[in-house]
Chains A and B, each alone.
Chain A
Amino acid sequence: MKPTKFLLSAAAAAITAGAASAEDMTLVSWGGAYQASQQKAYAEPYMEMHPDVNIVWDESSAEAVAKLRAMNEAGNITWDVVDVVASDAIRLCDEGLAMEIDPDTQLAPAPDGTPASEDFGDLLVSDCFIPQIVYSTTFGYRTDLVGDTPPDDICDVFDLEAYPGKRSLEKRPINNMEWALLCDGVPKDEVYDVLATDEGQDRALKKLDTIKDSVVWWSAGADTPQLLADGEVVMGSTYNGRLFSLIEEQKQPVAMLWDAQVFDLDGWIIPAGLSDERKQRALDFIYFATDTQRLADQAKYISYGPARKSSAPLVGKHAELGIDMAPHMPTDPNNAKNTFLYNYEFWADYRDDIDAKFQAWLAQ
């Protein structure tokens, strides 16, 4: 029975050793290069300043809404700060699962004293949402598979003659429907009006029908980079930061097609119903992690634009590659010649209907 005793005592020692160290604070994020940038820009400096706090990551942002609902129901909220996209933050806020934040008292002002509410401006799309980055969903293409005239127009995605081969699109209606309508001749400012009607939705699906056989559908942000690296697809949509890492860090023969990139926001929420002690700690972290310098620091590691106006001038070079990050930002004037603003309210209202239609169309 000796080995058993040894194992037991070793395990007990390991557990108590873990318990005796700093208090765990669980941050929820998306994994990958994005989470790594948060780790370096926010978590590491914060833990250095607060040795009593130990930050633990949970890569569950994709299921944040469902999981927070379940945690709330079970009365067992294990998360302290959660990174979500703006639309999820709006849903969580409406359902009372996220805590409301007063930007001017609970967030850091800009270095020149401008209050946070002005510094973030209209990016504060919900009372519970603390914006962190502006990212875009856009296309990358294989430079070696597109011939002599690389695509420079979003409608090239729908042009199977000029650019034969597979393309990868996200397995959800958002963005795809808008792009389809744009390329079916709908002016940019009328896209959501058209998409609100049944005929408009059918029209978008009909346009998507023209390339359906050549589409590989993705559901995780890492899929398109993998497909592009494999040469399985000629072009594909994904988050611009993933493409940046594919092109600049992995040195793959891929280039960006910025046309009609769709801007979206990502940021933090604090779950409702934390104990006072945990709430204070979470607020303290948020205050630190969303100040002007920290947001600018994050852009050293990944090509997402900081959400504060005051951070933009501080964006410098990539921490390891030493290249200027500004030209890789989705907000850079050269990249943002033709952008598309994602309409939260529209999708909040129509998402369920169009989702059902889209899934039915996929299954046909």
Chain B
Amino acid sequence: MAALTPISRKPLSMVLPSVALAGAFAGIFVGAGNGSVPMGMIGGAILIAGLAWFYISVLGNERLAYWINILGFGLAGFVFAGIGGGILGLLGGWFFVWFTYWLYEGRYRRKLLPYLTAQQVFFHYLFRVICGAIFVFLITPILVVLPLSFNAQDFFTFTPEMLRLDPEGYSLKHYRDFFTNNEWQRSFKNSLIIAPIATIISVSLGTLAAIGLSQSHVPGRRAIMAILISPMIVPLIISATGMFFFYSDIGRFLEGTLGMNKTFVGYLKVILAHAVLGIPFVIITVTATLVGFDRSLTRAAANMGAGPVRTFFKIQMPLILPGVISGGLFAFITSFDEVVVVLFVGSASQKTLPWQMFTGLREQISPTILAVATILVVISIALLTTVELLRRRSERLRGLTPA
């Protein structure tokens, strides 16, 4: 239906200012790189508008215009900034000539409903541009880290060799450092000990609390709920200070009075502190899942002679499992990313990965941090993908369509 929208050529008075605007925007970056932003904007606007006018009014051949623009920009980029610039030039050249003809031929209306006003069309695309910009702002900081972690130098700098895509400028030495350096390995190991145990504790306690609090006969459940999720609301630095003194006392008692091992007590303190931070996430997700849980199922189970425990594991648990798993993921990530509380409660033997990254950033700006960050990003993506796939699989098995 939408493809039937008739399209027509647009006047130059509309095309040229639009492409000039896009050219000025690109000119900001070129100008900033060469010293003067205003000059870059003016130059970009004139260049792009001039080219558009030339292609439309003089050349009049779209295919030829494509070739000229793409190759011209690519060549210019290559001459000024090597291979990297050349690739950027090819992409830029393609974009501008595509954009020019997209506007001029009125192709932007092709997929829209025919009766939309100009304003509606404008806002349709403005909305997409804003969404795209938000996406770029969210994702670029993460993407920048990836190539920098392969830097052959010990600084957070895109060296000229890297920009030329010269293999000399890249190296795996920061990854090697991560896997061979004792401090990194110790902190990685600590994170792998602390986060899963804290997660298991938060998930068990949080799920039980959510189930209890969803019963209507529990007195004062709103107040209890508020207290339980307070670690999420109180600023972390404040909970951390309180925890420091609280767990110091507990630690003294366990070590001094009960004579427990110092290292073990150290881990115990951090794990308990992290479990407390993770519990609110589990409570919130599980409570949300319980809203859709049909109580008559538990009554039916009881009717058939199942005890509460059996009912829980056989009936309720499988149905609220998605909420439990996502709560568990949040709890895991909270513990795995946490730096403030562990700085207060832990001692150096419990140094976790974020702690090590934090001190690494402060005392020695080493790209090993970026290598670790890259590894963590990859692990996170793998983890989330696995969970999502498992969830879809289980929903398929249960005959539900994936939401």
CB atoms of A11 and B196 under 8 A apart: yes
Q: How far is it, in angstroms, between the C-alpha of A229 and the C-alpha of B366 when the chains are bound?
A: 13
Q: Residue on A with the closest CB to B204?
A: A4
Q: Does B395 contact A (CB under 8 A)?
A: no
Q: Does A248 contact B (CB under 8 A)?
A: no
Residues of chain A contacted by B249 (CB below 8 angstroms): 74
> Which one of A7, A35, A225 contacts B196 once the chains associate, using CB atoms below 8 Å?
A7
CB atoms of A222 and B363 under 8 A apart: yes
Q: How far is it, in angstroms, between the C-alpha of A172 and the C-alpha of B60 when the chains are bound?
A: 65
Q: Residue on B with the closest CB to A18?
A: B263
Binding-face segment, A24-32, A102-110, A201-209, A321-329: A24-32
CB atoms of A76 and B363 under 8 A apart: no
| Distance (whole angstroms) from the CB of B202 to the closest CB of chain A | 13
CB atoms of B362 and A31 under 8 A apart: yes
The answer to whether residues A24 and B349 also contact, given A15-B264, A226-B155, A226-B156 and a CB cut-off of 8 A, is yes
Q: Residue on B with the closest CB to A58?
A: B348
Q: How far is it, in angstroms, between the C-alpha of A229 and the C-alpha of B262 when the chains are bound?
A: 43
> Which one of B155, B261, B359, B360 contacts A225 once the chains associate, using CB atoms below 8 Å?
B155
Q: Residue on A with the closest CB to B249?
A: A74
Q: Residue on B with the closest CB to A70?
A: B244
Q: Does A33 contact B (CB under 8 A)?
A: yes
Q: Does B183 contact A (CB under 8 A)?
A: yes
The answer to whether residues A58 and B351 also contact, given A11-B197, A30-B363, A226-B365 and a CB cut-off of 8 A, is yes
The answer to whether residues A19 and B261 also contact, given A8-B197, A74-B244 and a CB cut-off of 8 A, is yes
Q: How far is it, in angstroms, between the C-alpha of A19 and the C-alpha of B259 when the chains are bound?
A: 13
CB atoms of B362 and A222 under 8 A apart: yes
Residues of chain B contacted by A226 (CB below 8 angstroms): 155-157, 365
CB atoms of B189 and A31 under 8 A apart: no
CB atoms of A19 and B363 under 8 A apart: no
Q: Does B153 contact A (CB under 8 A)?
A: yes
| Distance (whole angstroms) from the CB of A219 to the closest CB of chain B | 8
Q: Residue on A with the closest CB to B363?
A: A31
Q: Does B347 contact A (CB under 8 A)?
A: yes
Count of A-B contacts with CB under 8 A? Answer: 94
Q: How far is it, in angstroms, between the C-alpha of A320 and the C-alpha of B66 when the chains are bound?
A: 56
Residues of chain A contacted by B248 (CB below 8 angstroms): 74-76
Q: Within residues 125 to 163 of chain B, which ones have a CB less than 8 A from any CB in chain A? A: 153-157
| Distance (whole angstroms) from the CB of A66 to the closest CB of chain B | 12
| Distance (whole angstroms) from the CB of A362 to the closest CB of chain B | 20
> How many B residues are at the interface, by size bracket?
20 to 34
Q: How far is it, in angstroms, between the C-alpha of A276 and the C-alpha of B14 when the chains are bound?
A: 85
Q: How far is it, in angstroms, between the C-alpha of A223 and the C-alpha of B361 when the chains are bound?
A: 9
Q: Within residues 214 to 234 of chain A, which ones have a CB less than 8 A from any CB in chain B? A: 220-223, 225-226, 229-230
Q: Does A56 contact B (CB under 8 A)?
A: yes
| Distance (whole angstroms) from the CB of A156 to the closest CB of chain B | 24
CB atoms of A78 and B362 under 8 A apart: no
Residues of chain A contacted by B156 (CB below 8 angstroms): 226, 230
Q: Residue on A with the closest CB to B265?
A: A19
Residues of chain B contacted by A31 (CB below 8 angstroms): 359-360, 362-364
The answer to whether residues A78 and B193 also contact, given A19-B261, A33-B364, A225-B155 and a CB cut-off of 8 A, is no
CB atoms of A229 and B157 under 8 A apart: yes
Q: Residue on A with the closest CB to B262?
A: A24
CB atoms of B200 and A8 under 8 A apart: yes
The answer to whether residues A250 and B153 also contact, given A19-B264, A70-B244, A74-B248 and a CB cut-off of 8 A, is yes
Mark A5-16 against chain B: 1 for CB-CB distance below 8 A, else 0.
Answer: 001100100111
Q: Does A62 contact B (CB under 8 A)?
A: yes
Residues of chain A contacted by B252 (CB below 8 angstroms): 75-76
CB atoms of B244 and A4 under 8 A apart: no
Q: How far is it, in angstroms, between the C-alpha of A18 and the C-alpha of B261 when the chains are bound?
A: 10
Residues of chain A contacted by B264 (CB below 8 angstroms): 15-16, 19
Q: Does A59 contact B (CB under 8 A)?
A: yes
Residues of chain A contacted by B251 (CB below 8 angstroms): 76
Q: Residue on A with the closest CB to B364?
A: A32
Q: How far is it, in angstroms, between the C-alpha of A171 and the C-alpha of B156 when the chains are bound?
A: 21
Q: Does B336 contact A (CB under 8 A)?
A: no
> Which one of A35, A62, A230 contacts B362 once the chains associate, using CB atoms below 8 Å?
A62
> Which one of A73, A74, A223 contacts B365 once the chains associate, using CB atoms below 8 Å?
A223
The answer to whether residues A230 and B157 also contact, given A31-B363, A56-B349, A78-B347 and a CB cut-off of 8 A, is yes
- A–B Cβ pairs within 8 angstroms, 28 of them: A7-B200, A18-B349, A19-B264, A26-B347, A31-B359, A31-B362, A32-B364, A35-B363, A59-B359, A73-B245, A74-B244, A74-B245, A74-B248, A74-B249, A75-B248, A78-B266, A220-B362, A221-B363, A222-B363, A223-B365, A225-B155, A226-B157, A226-B365, A229-B157, A230-B156, A250-B153, A250-B154, A250-B155
**Residues of chain B at the chain A interface (Cβ within 8 Å):** 153-157, 183, 186, 189, 193, 196-197, 200, 244-245, 248-249, 251-252, 261-264, 266-267, 347-349, 351, 359-360, 362-365
Q: Lowest 10 CB-CB distances: which A-B pairs, in order?
A: A31-B363, A32-B364, A58-B348, A78-B347, A74-B248, A76-B248, A59-B359, A229-B155, A222-B365, A56-B348
